[in-house]
Chains A and B, each alone.
Chain A
Amino acid sequence: MDEILAEFIAETLETLEVLSGEVVAWEADPTDGSRLDAFFRFFHTVKGSCGFLNLPRFERLAHAAEDVLATIRRGDRAADPATVTAVLEVMDRIGTLARCVGDGEEPPIPESADDLLLDALTVRAPSPSAPVEAAPDAKKEVTAAAPAEAAPSATGRERAPRTIRLPLALIDQLMNGISDMVLARNDLARKMRDRGADPELEGSFERLSANVADLRDMISKTRMQRVDRLYAAIPRMVRDLSRDLGKKVGLDLDGGDVEMDREMIEMVVDPLTHIVRNALDHGIEPPADRLAAGKAEAGTLRIVARQSGNQIVIEIADDGRGINRAALVEKAVSAGLLTSTEAATLTDEQKLQLIFHPGLSTAEAVTAVSGRGVGMDVVRANIEQIGGVIGIESCVGQGTTLTMRVPLTLTIIPGLIVRSGGHYFAMPRGNVVELLHQNSAMIAVEEIGGARIATIRGEQYSLIDIEDVLGLPPRDEQSGMHGPRTLMVVRSSVGQPYVLGVEAVESNEELVIRPASPLVTGAGVYAGMTLPDNGQPMLLLDAAGIAQSARLPLRDAGRIAAAAAAKVEQAETTQALLFAERDGTRRLIPLAIVDRVEDVDIGQIARSDGRAFIRIDGRLCPALNADGTLDRTHKALRLHAGRDTLCYLIGDVIDIIEVPISLDVRLDAGRIAGLMMVGETQIEMIDPFTLFTEVARDLHPTETSADAPPPLLCLIADEQDAWLTGILAPLLRQAGHDVTFTAPTGRTPDIILRTEATATEVNGGDVPVLLLADSAETAKVSADAVYRYDRARIIATIAEVAARRAA
């Protein structure tokens, strides 16, 4: 009996969650019979089960609601806002009671209170004769387009995938089980290597090994949930809030079928709720103001989720009044965050970023909805805590868009394995801005009054050694034995970036992070622990904790102004990876396209017909440089460009260095793009575009030039910009597009390209404008910007435009 009851509670709560989105849609269109049916069915089911389970209180509520819905269905009564509210309240009450029963608690609301709800339900709306018109004249009404899946038709429901309900604990156990299996497999693989290979045995082991890997992937997927779950509560919240605020808001939800880790969904709920509240309260204007500003009476709130690589991007856009920069700056100045001189030097972007500062809210009055002191700083802290970033764009009078980018899962993060004094630690890759060798020419270290300061490209950072932070034997005792140390520029959510010195960075791995026990986290410098595939437990370093324990200064306002000044001086550079080819030649490759460095076993390499492939993650990836005799293991650069991946076998990785964006000598020699002066020597820079061209037929075997989208006419906005004309234009032509520098007559350009330096105002009208951003950071937060050295993205974005035009 208990089991049946638990099942009933779980099912009821789940249905309620789904329905809360639909109820708003139903109110918007009371004539939609299929929605009414869904509610009717819910109350009917609850009523039926309650009789059986002996829950009279539920039964009474459900019965009354069912009756009212029945009269509406017969057309005897209108679905006016009052009725909908009453039905909603009954649903809420059933939810509250169900949760209490589920937790085995006594309901906090006395049964007599139900009578009030039931009375509200049975009070007749004054104008039953106007069922459809009842809604629009009600001032507090809100329209919402629920996601299409949320309102399945009767036939849609039948075709829904078959599912069963499983306890989460079981899934966690499965996950642990499979991790055990992976460890056992690795152990076995080690032993097999030590004892010499028996090809037959190895074949069987390979098969088993592949199965285990597949199984692990599949089980990881059971942790994923659709973003719909995150959306479920939003329509209701928007409806209730806009009623309270006397505003009209249309809600548009998109991307509900994107999947993310269920833990991640839980972590994003609060920030998202807060942003939505802000948008409704401060962003969208009251109907009268909107009309006065020449906008539609009802505002629009649009939430879109999409997957981008191993991140989920959630955009929350409103078409409200935008953010008043002047008010923000004024507040910051009066709060003592900035001096007025500093404020004058801020760029628009930096002014907007002020919204994330603690204690700054532009709301003129504190309202019940938002502006209660919990501000965007908390939202940002929450997002950064889970390894995400948040960006903002706002146009005064036109609206504000907030973009949250969060990792796909909380538990698996890319990390760098660092070594120091025989100890290994993991550092989340998201915290590491760049890696440098101590003896790199880019860095100068000086000691002043006990503090050590590293100067990298004119920026000064505090330099701390991991040994000092953790109390390991001092680095001097080991120097000389281990060669140059590695310096990591580390960025954390709370403080200024700093430089952390470690003995070496060993590798780059996907790490499964588990929480560490309180005794360990109490040390203040560890964020969690992980068990890499070698079976040796490892601690995950906490970038913010290390800064705090080294007593580095926190993020302050002076820094904002300093950064503004520094940005002007900074020469235009980009990052490149310095590596040794298999024959030892040193070459450079743009870092932006290097996804990761792989250790490739000879068994993973397959050669056929003069071409080579590497098997990675169960897929074949074209490989270059795989000719000649192969050693047992090789290092390979995994290059990534949009959907395309290729592996480039190399000897070893040497360093990541900063290079000027333009080549010193331009060559047109196959894979080599040109020469670059690095220190005293010149090094060849690889042209990744050529690499991808070489393997193009392997990546897209079916694609022929006949199917390719027709060439686009690309308008380059600034003829004077050397980068646009000298680098981008040839690239575009190579990709088969037409390039023009002046607006042509007779033919509208398909896309306009500009850089941040483009002085003239670009207004494309219907034509999309693509910004080629100077930094990858800018490109990250803006939807129509692409990092100028992300060549593949540029091509991909342009191809998208072509595809859209063709469609």
Chain B
Amino acid sequence: MNDKLFLFATIAGTPVALRASEIEAVVRLGDIVPIQRVPPHVRGLAALRSRVLTVIDIESRIFGRPMPVSARPLAVVCEVAAHTYGLLVETVSDICEAPDGIHAIQGRIDRAWAPFASALVEREGRSHLLLRATDFVSTPVAAKAA
């Protein structure tokens, strides 16, 4: 797979990028069935045809406050360790190549983003924080959140 291909989206107004190789599709979800006794960023379960997605609220994972969702929220579908997840995103702008590739982050980013954003991806003159899907589907570890 082309490792310069990225999905560009926004989360809490911040432009972010995910490697296209990590993701399977972008879909609008139907009803999300909430789950009890799970971390707050696990929004619930949603059906995607015959598959069941665990819906993850990235914004809640980063900032600790739930993302306001519309009736048919946009989600990035990805498969990690044989489980399928839907990562909620605000908007998706495009899937395209970033010819300049990945840069190291210059300057200090928000403390909330720091554990998740490892690099920057440039597209049309704008920087996007590069996120990894696996960071959001693992059980939060105290050290990581600090």
Which one, B5-13, B18-26, B49-57, B122-130, is touching chain A? B49-57
Asked, given contacts A536-B31, A537-B33, whether A519 binds B50 with beta carbons under 8 Å apart, the answer is: no
Bound together, the chains give a CA A701 to CA B49 distance in angstroms of 44
**Which residues 62-101 of A sit at the B interface, judged by CB distance below 8 A?**
none
The yes or no answer to A577 lying at the interface (CB within 8 A) is: no
- Provide the residues of chain A in CB contact with B83, threshold 8 Å: 515-518
The yes or no answer to B137 lying at the interface (CB within 8 A) is: yes
Which one, B35-43, B94-102, B108-116, is touching chain A? B35-43
Which one, A522-530, A595-603, A646-654, is touching chain B? A522-530
- Provide the residues of chain B in CB contact with A423, threshold 8 Å: 33-34, 36
The yes or no answer to A51 lying at the interface (CB within 8 A) is: no
- Provide the residues of chain A in CB contact with B139, threshold 8 Å: 518-519, 522
Contact between B47 and A531 (Cβ–Cβ < 8 Å)?
yes
Contact between B47 and A536 (Cβ–Cβ < 8 Å)?
yes
- Provide the residues of chain B in CB contact with A519, threshold 8 Å: 38-39, 42, 54, 56, 137, 139
The yes or no answer to B117 lying at the interface (CB within 8 A) is: no
Nearest Cβ on chain A to B59's Cβ, whole angstroms: 16
Asked, given contacts A471-B37, A472-B36, whether A520 binds B50 with beta carbons under 8 Å apart, the answer is: no
Contact between A520 and B42 (Cβ–Cβ < 8 Å)?
yes
Asked, given contacts A517-B54, A529-B52, whether A470 binds B36 with beta carbons under 8 Å apart, the answer is: yes
The yes or no answer to B45 lying at the interface (CB within 8 A) is: yes
- Provide the residues of chain A in CB contact with B38, threshold 8 Å: 519-520, 522-523
Which one, A175-183, A433-441, A586-594, A681-689, is touching chain B? A175-183
- Provide the residues of chain A in CB contact with B50, threshold 8 Å: 176-177, 179-180, 182-183, 531
Residues of A within 8 A of B (CB-CB), count: 31
Residue of B nearest to A549 (CB): B37
The yes or no answer to A227 lying at the interface (CB within 8 A) is: no
Contact between A538 and B49 (Cβ–Cβ < 8 Å)?
no
Bound together, the chains give a CA A515 to CA B37 distance in angstroms of 17
The yes or no answer to A328 lying at the interface (CB within 8 A) is: no
The yes or no answer to A539 lying at the interface (CB within 8 A) is: yes
Contact between A514 and B36 (Cβ–Cβ < 8 Å)?
no
The yes or no answer to A535 lying at the interface (CB within 8 A) is: yes
- Provide the residues of chain B in CB contact with A183, threshold 8 Å: 47, 49-50
Contact between B37 and A525 (Cβ–Cβ < 8 Å)?
yes
Nearest Cβ on chain A to B129's Cβ, whole angstroms: 22
Among A180, A518, A539, point to the contact of B35 (Cβ < 8 A).
A539
Bound together, the chains give a CA A518 to CA B35 distance in angstroms of 13
Contact between A537 and B37 (Cβ–Cβ < 8 Å)?
no
- Provide the residues of chain A in CB contact with B52, threshold 8 Å: 514, 529-531, 537
Nearest Cβ on chain B to A501's Cβ, whole angstroms: 16
A 460-478 to B, binary, CB cutoff 8 A, 1 in contact else 0: 0000000000111000000
The yes or no answer to B46 lying at the interface (CB within 8 A) is: yes
Bound together, the chains give a CA A470 to CA B54 distance in angstroms of 18
Among B33, B35, B49, B81, point to the contact of A536 (Cβ < 8 A).
B33
Bound together, the chains give a CA A522 to CA B81 distance in angstroms of 15
Nearest Cβ on chain A to B130's Cβ, whole angstroms: 22
Bound together, the chains give a CA A530 to CA B47 distance in angstroms of 10
Residue of A nearest to B51 (CB): A176
Contact between A471 and B46 (Cβ–Cβ < 8 Å)?
no
Bound together, the chains give a CA A518 to CA B38 distance in angstroms of 10
Among A179, A517, A537, point to the contact of B46 (Cβ < 8 A).
A537
Contact between B35 and A523 (Cβ–Cβ < 8 Å)?
yes
- Provide the residues of chain A in CB contact with B34, threshold 8 Å: 423
Contact between B49 and A524 (Cβ–Cβ < 8 Å)?
no
Bound together, the chains give a CA A177 to CA B81 distance in angstroms of 21
Contact between A517 and B47 (Cβ–Cβ < 8 Å)?
no
A 406-444 to B, binary, CB cutoff 8 A, 1 in contact else 0: 000000000000000001000000000000000000000
Bound together, the chains give a CA A524 to CA B37 distance in angstroms of 8
- Provide the residues of chain A in CB contact with B35, threshold 8 Å: 520, 523, 526, 539
- Provide the residues of chain B in CB contact with A529, threshold 8 Å: 45, 52
Residues of B within 8 A of A (CB-CB), count: 27
Nearest Cβ on chain B to A502's Cβ, whole angstroms: 14
Contact between A538 and B37 (Cβ–Cβ < 8 Å)?
no
Bound together, the chains give a CA A323 to CA B31 distance in angstroms of 56
Asked, given contacts A517-B137, A518-B83, A518-B139, whether A523 binds B49 with beta carbons under 8 Å apart, the answer is: no
Among B30, B33, B42, B137, point to the contact of A538 (Cβ < 8 A).
B33
Residue of B nearest to A529 (CB): B52
Residue of B nearest to A524 (CB): B37
With most chain B CB atoms within 10 A of its CB, the pick from A176, A177, A514, A515 is A514
A 177-204 to B, binary, CB cutoff 8 A, 1 in contact else 0: 1011011000000000000000000000
Residue of A nearest to B42 (CB): A519
- Provide the residues of chain B in CB contact with A536, threshold 8 Å: 31, 33, 47
Among A522, A537, A549, point to the contact of B47 (Cβ < 8 A).
A537
Nearest Cβ on chain B to A666's Cβ, whole angstroms: 51
Nearest Cβ on chain A to B144's Cβ, whole angstroms: 14
Bound together, the chains give a CA A531 to CA B85 distance in angstroms of 15
- Provide the residues of chain A in CB contact with B42, threshold 8 Å: 519-520
Bound together, the chains give a CA A619 to CA B2 distance in angstroms of 53
Nearest Cβ on chain B to A752's Cβ, whole angstroms: 53
Bound together, the chains give a CA A177 to CA B51 distance in angstroms of 10
- Provide the residues of chain B in CB contact with A524, threshold 8 Å: 37
Contact between B45 and A523 (Cβ–Cβ < 8 Å)?
no
Asked, given contacts A519-B39, A520-B54, whether A180 binds B49 with beta carbons under 8 Å apart, the answer is: yes
Bound together, the chains give a CA A535 to CA B53 distance in angstroms of 12
Bound together, the chains give a CA A423 to CA B31 distance in angstroms of 13
Nearest Cβ on chain A to B137's Cβ, whole angstroms: 7
A 152-190 to B, binary, CB cutoff 8 A, 1 in contact else 0: 000000000000000000000000110110110000000
A 480-516 to B, binary, CB cutoff 8 A, 1 in contact else 0: 0000000000000000000000000000000000111
Bound together, the chains give a CA A531 to CA B42 distance in angstroms of 18
Residue of B nearest to A534 (CB): B47
Bound together, the chains give a CA A519 to CA B53 distance in angstroms of 12
With most chain A CB atoms within 10 A of its CB, the pick from B33, B35, B85 is B35
- Provide the residues of chain A in CB contact with B56, threshold 8 Å: 519
Nearest Cβ on chain A to B136's Cβ, whole angstroms: 9
**Which residues 717-754 of A sit at the B interface, judged by CB distance below 8 A?**
none
Bound together, the chains give a CA A461 to CA B54 distance in angstroms of 35
B 59-88 to A, binary, CB cutoff 8 A, 1 in contact else 0: 000000000000000000000011111000
Nearest Cβ on chain A to B54's Cβ, whole angstroms: 4
Contact between B45 and A470 (Cβ–Cβ < 8 Å)?
no
Nearest Cβ on chain A to B117's Cβ, whole angstroms: 21
- Provide the residues of chain A in CB contact with B39, threshold 8 Å: 519, 522
Residue of A nearest to B49 (CB): A180
Bound together, the chains give a CA A529 to CA B30 distance in angstroms of 17
Bound together, the chains give a CA A472 to CA B85 distance in angstroms of 24
Bound together, the chains give a CA A599 to CA B85 distance in angstroms of 34
Contact between A523 and B36 (Cβ–Cβ < 8 Å)?
yes
Bound together, the chains give a CA A423 to CA B35 distance in angstroms of 9
Nearest Cβ on chain A to B13's Cβ, whole angstroms: 25
- Provide the residues of chain B in CB contact with A518, threshold 8 Å: 81, 83, 137-139
- Provide the residues of chain A in CB contact with B37, threshold 8 Å: 470-471, 523-525, 549
**Which residues 672-715 of A sit at the B interface, judged by CB distance below 8 A?**
none
Contact between A539 and B45 (Cβ–Cβ < 8 Å)?
yes
With most chain B CB atoms within 10 A of its CB, the pick from A177, A182, A516, A530 is A516
Given contacts A423-B34, A536-B33, 12 further A-B contacts (CB under 8 A): A471-B37, A517-B83, A518-B139, A519-B39, A519-B42, A519-B139, A523-B36, A529-B45, A531-B47, A531-B50, A536-B47, A537-B46
A sample of 11 inter-chain contacts (CB < 8 A) reads A180-B49, A180-B50, A182-B50, A423-B34, A470-B37, A515-B83, A517-B137, A520-B54, A537-B33, A537-B46, A549-B37
State the 10 A-B residue pairs at the shortest beta-carbon distance, nearest first. A179-B50, A537-B45, A470-B36, A517-B83, A523-B37, A517-B54, A180-B50, A537-B52, A180-B49, A523-B38
